[in-house]
Amino acid sequence: MRDTFLSFSLPLIGAEEIDEVVAALKSGWLTSGPRTRQFEQDFCQAFGTPAALSLNSCTAGLHIALKVLNIGPGDEVITTPMTFAASVNVIEHVGATPVLVDVEPDTLNLQPDAVEQAITPKTKAVIAVHYAGHPVELHALRSICDQYGLHLIEDAAHAIGAAFDGQPIGAGSNLTAFSFYATKNLTTGEGGMLTGSAELLERARIFSLHGMNREAWSRYSAGGKWAYDIVEPGFKYNMTDLQAALGLQQLRRFDRMQARRRDIVQAYNSAFRNHAPFLTPTTRDHVTNAWHLYVLRLRSSELTINRNQFIEEMTARNIGTSVHFIPIHMHSYYRDKYNYHPDDFPVAHGAFQNMLSLPLSPSMSDQDVADVIDAVLDIRSKFARRRAAA
């Protein structure tokens, strides 16, 4: 057993990131400025996005997306219960009504057929979450949205580096929000990016900084002019140059970090896929999985302990884990407001009861990976259900 605790998802930060942050500190420009603009440009180039807006979170991106599309009271937005609360909270923030539909049994992404069945005259948009880094069925969802005149917003918090039919997530003209939270595949500590058409992002940029028509960099840099106007009741959602400094260097090492993630996933799959108590993650042939999470699902009929006890056993072996996610309809606010019951979305609820996320980070050593595998297999050997001889 390990002598030290292995955290669930440590970021990989090197001398390059530290040096870039120090350079930003010495530059005299700390808030949104030249580094945030450079980060946006580099992001577009790396992932083929038509335009990009750096923000302080993915949540900000989703909120602004709804505002830019004029979604508000009286409107409905269809989304998934298998997501973090931010994906649904933003719908409440604009005064619209979230409409949850169940997920696919294998990918745990939105079921396109269920989305279509949930559409009403009040439906204005679909927020599709690329769960764990596996893209949703974009062709089907785009077709549905086009047929019914709906906006498609992509929550790509898990999906930087993912692709659908060879096209990077975020390369479309629709609004797509990415996360650079501390545990994400690319981190700025806190932060996010909103991508989409240049026309949509022009208004989104105004929303992101109080509704001002001119940001600080254009007012306070050499040759800037002080005057500005408030043209929208906006928010304080901008990214700082200190955050962008991290992002610039993370972007340069991104391919190497993703390769390491894939190596870890391959090791996990090889170790677990042939054991009856475990269901390993799915990746469909027409997608590139970003592998933000490695979600191992337990077959309860094959074990004498439940998921919570399994996690306790992992913790006792100094291995950190998590659960992604407690479905939205099980949280008290949404449960009480919309009178949800756990089995209203049986696929999401069933998956939640049996899932845990294993450590997955490019900062992990080969020994770290081996320790995780050994811990999982040791728990299996101790708690696998014994079958009576025929």
CATH of the domain at 116: 3.40.640.10
Task: List, by residue number, the catalytic residues.
Answer: 184
Segment 321-335, tens digit of pLDDT: 999 999 999 999 999
pLDDT at position 306 is 98
pLDDT at position 250 is 98
Domain count, the chain: 2
Residue 389 lies in a domain: no
- In the predicted model, what is the mean pLDDT of the chain? 96
Q: Is the peptide bond before 325 cis (omega within 30 degrees of 0)?
A: yes
Average pLDDT over residues 182-203: 98
Average pLDDT over residues 111-121: 98
pTM: 0.96
Question: How far does the chain reach from its first CA to its final CA, in angstroms?
Answer: 36
Residue 2 lies in a domain: no
Question: Are both 264 and 245 inside the same structural domain?
Answer: no
Q: What percentage of the chain reaches a pLDDT higher than 90?
A: 94
At 233, is the pLDDT very low, low, confident or very high (cuts 50, 70, 90)? very high
pLDDT at position 223 is 65
Least confident among 185-199, 215-229, 296-310, 325-339: 215-229
Residue 170 lies in a domain: yes
pLDDT over 60 at 220, yes or no? no
Question: Are both 236 and 297 inside the same structural domain?
Answer: no
Segment 259-285, tens digit of pLDDT: 999 999 999 999 999 999 999 999 999
pLDDT at position 390 is 52
Question: Are both 195 and 69 inside the same structural domain?
Answer: yes
Domain of 57?
A: 15-252
Least confident among 28-32, 243-247, 258-262, 283-287: 28-32
**Residue 368 · residue 6 · CB < 8 Å:** yes
At 219, is the pLDDT very low, low, confident or very high (cuts 50, 70, 90)? low
DSSP assignment, residue 86?
H
pLDDT over 70 at 231, yes or no? yes
pLDDT over 90 at 183, yes or no? yes
Please give the Cα distance from 323 to 141 (Å, whole number): 27
Q: Which residue has the tokens 């309809």?
A: 329
**Residue 111 · residue 162 · CB < 8 Å:** no
At 226, is the pLDDT very low, low, confident or very high (cuts 50, 70, 90)? confident
Please give the Cα distance from 58 to 161 (Å, whole number): 15
Q: Final residue of a domain: which of 195, 225, 252?
A: 252
Question: Are both 216 and 276 inside the same structural domain?
Answer: no
H/E segment holding residue 308 = helix 307-316
Tokens of 368: 């770290």
pLDDT over 90 at 228, yes or no? no
Q: Final residue of a domain: which of 198, 225, 252?
A: 252
- Which CATH number does the domain housing residue 278 bear? 3.90.1150.10
3-state DSSP assignment of residue 209: strand
Q: Final residue of a domain: which of 205, 232, 252?
A: 252
pLDDT at position 218 is 58
Average pLDDT over residues 163-188: 98
pLDDT over 80 at 117, yes or no? yes
From the DSSP assignment, how many helices (H) and strands (E) are in the chain? 14, 13
Residues with Cβ within 8 Å of 11's Cβ and at least 6 positions away in sequence, in order, are: 182, 183, 187, 361, 363
Segment 142-158, tens digit of pLDDT: 999 999 999 999 999 99
pLDDT at position 214 is 72
- Helix axis angle, 241-252 relative to 254-272, nearest 10°? 60
